[in-house]
Amino acid sequence: MKSRYNINDWLPVTKKDCDARGWNEPDVVLFSGDAYVDHPSFGTAVIGRIIESRGFRVAIVPQPNWRDDLRDFKKMGRPRLFFAVTSGCMDSMVNHYTANKRLRSDDAYSPGGRAGFRPDYALSVYCNILKDLYPGVPVVAGGVEASLRRLTHYDYWSDSLRPSELCSSRADIIIYGMGEKPLIGLLDRASSGENVESVNDLCQSCFMAESLDAVDKVGGWSDVMLFSHEECLSSKEKFAENFRAIEKACSGREAVRLIQRCGDRFVVVNPPFINITTEEIYSFYDLPFTR
């Protein structure tokens, strides 16, 4: 029986797939800790299809091997715009360990449910590899692991406070939450020639600033200065106060920008977009997924 699908119905996952499309280079290479399943319940597929729908060439590298000669990180080459990185639909540590910190024997987002296809703290591992291999190429991080770890956070697995993923991953920008609208905004600006590393006024994104003078006063946002990462390390009360301020900013009606010092730099979290409309949601999930 002849299949009703053509191989080009899926987004390319190998260099051969890109060559078959006549691509010299992709615009965006998307790395994911999950297997590629072309269905709108998988964030990687949604992001990939949105990039494609905007007229860009996107290739996906699912579950790259980080333990060999890193050929998976090199096979697509250097993208024209940026690398995009997600650890997958789950925080990689939740994916790996039970609440009793015992290693899980399976992985629901890997072929056959087999475990062992992604590292601990996958987002940071992937981003650091790309930064080392391709200095000068912007790295954009997203997904649940990046979103939940965008500021100083308690890490259950190490029983310690860890800094923003921007510090540990060296990503240039984090898109947090539901990333469709900020991603489209970033793509439009990158395609117009703007350097992704200099984008600091995009809603629902985070970036590192060398100084407060480098933070543009845009959007009419009010700033909330959080206690620094170092202050949180020395005081549980200050960490708790940060948590209260972050929750208030996320659930309030006022657009608030959060700023936290980490070492000699500053983590800046721009306020989220206004909720997307029903029509926008339909347009995202009506993209040509093979399902």
pLDDT tens, 265-274? 999 999 998 7
- 185-195, pLDDT tens digit by residue? 999 999 888 98
* Residue 103 burial (10 A CB sphere; 0-12, 13-18, 19+): exposed
pLDDT at 219: 67
Q: Please tell me the predicted confidence (pLDDT) of residue 230.
A: 97
Mean pLDDT of the chain: 93
Task: Summarize pLDDT for 226-252 with one digit per residue, the tens.
Answer: 999 999 999 999 999 999 999 998 887
Which residue from 104, 134, 130 is spatially nearest to 32, judged by alpha carbons? Answer: 130
Distance CA(117)–CA(64), nearest Å, equals: 8
Alpha helices (runs of H) in the chain, residue ranges in sequence order? 15-20, 43-53, 71-74, 92-96, 122-133, 144-148, 165-169, 180-191, 229-234, 236-251, 278-285
Sheet arrangement for strand 256-262: 58-62, 28-32, 82-86, 139-141, 173-175, 205-209, 265-269, 256-262, 222-225
Cα–Cα distance between 75 and 11 in angstroms, integer? Answer: 15
Which residue in the block uniquely carries the two structure tokens 């697509």? 76
| pLDDT confidence bin for 214, thresholds 50/70/90 | confident
Say which residue the tokens 């269905």 belong to.
39
The pTM for the full model equals 0.94
Instruction: Return the closest-CA partner of residue 87 out of 113, 52, 126, 136.
Output: 126
Stated length of the chain: 291
